């Protein structure tokens, strides 16, 4: 009992090396969550468009501040807001890293879905999933558009380029068909989630409800003249060469 009371009042300076490292990771997670909550509340109070403007501004500023401070403590050089050790990696390692980050992102997404499904069932998990994609697709569109320096209305060519920079673009296989001067078809030829289900002998995950929100919001975020149509997405039947396909139409 006395030992428990002592542990209860343990100071940060008394933590073991391992526990101190774990605490630092916990601080980073909490900071990321706080960042997200600020965005979510700004969207609630001011609307999505204003929230995206502020998110982009704050992210650029906070990233530079964070990297500079980490570099000072950990002893790495920072060049134009980027850790020098990252710049010094071979290109093939940087490309490999994009894939591993994409896999981590997808694993996190799946863990959230599974945790809600276990606790509250499939319907609630799908509701949360679809609402999340509604917001994330708009955030991703804004960040990619800014990163690429695309104009306000870059048209289908801008959308084609932006689709190659999405989080899953390095872990899935996708293709684009120029259907007409005013339309393209995007195909997800290999989906990491659906392929894994196939290997386990499971049916396709019915992701159409999320896809309808995801792709329309992403395309709209790149150019608000683009309308999205679903060619096919599970639970729809689909050919072997793709899991889902989407038509993007530029309307003047």
CATH number of the domain bearing residue 196: 3.30.1380
> How high is the pLDDT of residue 27?
96
pLDDT of 191 reads 97
Q: What is the pLDDT of residue 241?
A: 97
66 and 182 fall within a common domain: no
Residues 249, 215 share a domain = yes
Cα(158)–Cα(164) distance, integer angstroms = 10
Q: Using the 3D structure, point to which of 88, 105, 122 is the last residue of a domain.
A: 88
Q: Is residue 9 part of a domain?
A: no
Last residue of a domain, one of 57, 88, 119: 88
> Looking at residue 16, what is its pLDDT?
93
| Of residues 175, 246, 173, the one with CA closest to residue 211 | 246
Distance of CA 44 to the CA centre of its chain: 20
Tell whether 77 and 129 lie within a shared domain. Answer: no
Q: Is residue 6 part of a domain?
A: no
Identify how many contiguous H helices and E strands the chain contains and give both numbers: 9, 6
Q: What is the DSSP string of 24-75?
A: HHHHHHHHHHHHHHHHHHHHHHH-HHHHHHHHHHHHHHHHHHHHHHHHHHHT
Q: Do 28 and 137 fall into the same domain?
A: no
83 and 100 assigned to the same domain: no
pLDDT score at 231: 98
Q: How many domains does the chain have?
A: 2
Grouped pLDDT means (10 residues each) for the chain, 252 residues: 58 93 96 97 97 97 96 96 96 97 96 97 96 97 97 98 96 97 98 96 96 98 98 97 98 90
Predicted pLDDT of residue 85: 96
- Choose the final residue of a domain: 88, 105, 128: 88
Examine the domain organization and report whether 80 and 185 are in the same domain. Answer: no
Q: Please, which residues have CB within 8 angstroms of residue 130's CB and are 6 or more apart in sequence?
A: 209, 210, 213
Residue 9 has a pLDDT of 66
Residues 230 and 158 in one domain: yes
Q: Are residues 189 and 95 in the same domain?
A: yes
Residue that has been written with the tokens 């038509």 in this structure: 247
Let me know if residue 156 belongs to a domain.
yes
- Burial of 221-252, coded b for 16+ CB within 10 Å and e otherwise, reads bbbeebebeeeebbeeebeeebbbbbbbbbee
232 lies in the same domain as 190: yes
Task: Tell me the C-alpha distance between 220 and 232, whole Å.
Answer: 19
Residue 164, classed as helix, strand or coil, is coil
Q: Are 48 and 62 in contact (CB under 8 A)?
A: no
Query: What pLDDT, on a 0 to 100 scale, did the predictor assign at position 70?
Result: 96
Residue 38 lies in a domain: yes
Residues 116 and 82 in one domain: no
Residue 14 half-sphere exposure toward CB, CA atoms < 13 A: 6
Give the model's pLDDT for residue 36.
Answer: 96
Q: What is the pTM of this model?
A: 0.91
Same domain, 236 and 177: yes
Domain containing residue 67: 15-88
76 and 94 inside one domain: no
**C-alpha to C-alpha distance for 133 and 125, rounded to whole angstroms:** 12
């Amino acid at each position: 009992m006395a030992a428990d009371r002592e542990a209860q009042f343990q100071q940060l300076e008394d933590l073991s090396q391992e526990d101190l490292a774990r605490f630092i990771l916990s601080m980073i997670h909490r900071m990321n969550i706080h960042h997200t909550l600020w965005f979510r509340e700004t969207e609630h109070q001011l609307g999505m468009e204003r929230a995206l403007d502020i998110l982009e501004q704050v992210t650029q500023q906070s990233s530079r501040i964070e990297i500079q401070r980490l570099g000072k403590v950990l002893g790495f050089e920072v060049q134009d807001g980027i850790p020098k050790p990252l710049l010094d990696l071979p290109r093939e390692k940087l490309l490999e890293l994009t894939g591993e980050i994409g896999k981590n992102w997808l694993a996190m997404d799946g863990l959230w879905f599974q945790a809600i499904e276990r606790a509250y069932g499939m319907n609630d998990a799908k509701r949360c999933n679809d609402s999340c994609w509604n917001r994330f697709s708009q955030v991703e569109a804004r960040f990619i558009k800014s990163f690429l320096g695309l104009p306000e209305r870059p048209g289908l060519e801008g959308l084609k380029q932006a689709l190659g920079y999405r989080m899953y673009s390095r872990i899935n296989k996708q293709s684009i068909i120029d259907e007409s001067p005013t339309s393209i078809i995007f195909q997800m030829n290999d989906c990491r989630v659906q392929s894994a289900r196939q290997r386990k002998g499971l049916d396709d995950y019915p992701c159409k409800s999320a896809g309808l929100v995801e792709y329309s919001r992403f395309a709209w975020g790149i150019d608000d003249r683009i309308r999205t149509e679903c060619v096919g997405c599970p639970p729809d039947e689909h050919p072997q060469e793709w899991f889902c396909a989407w038509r993007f139409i530029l309307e003047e």
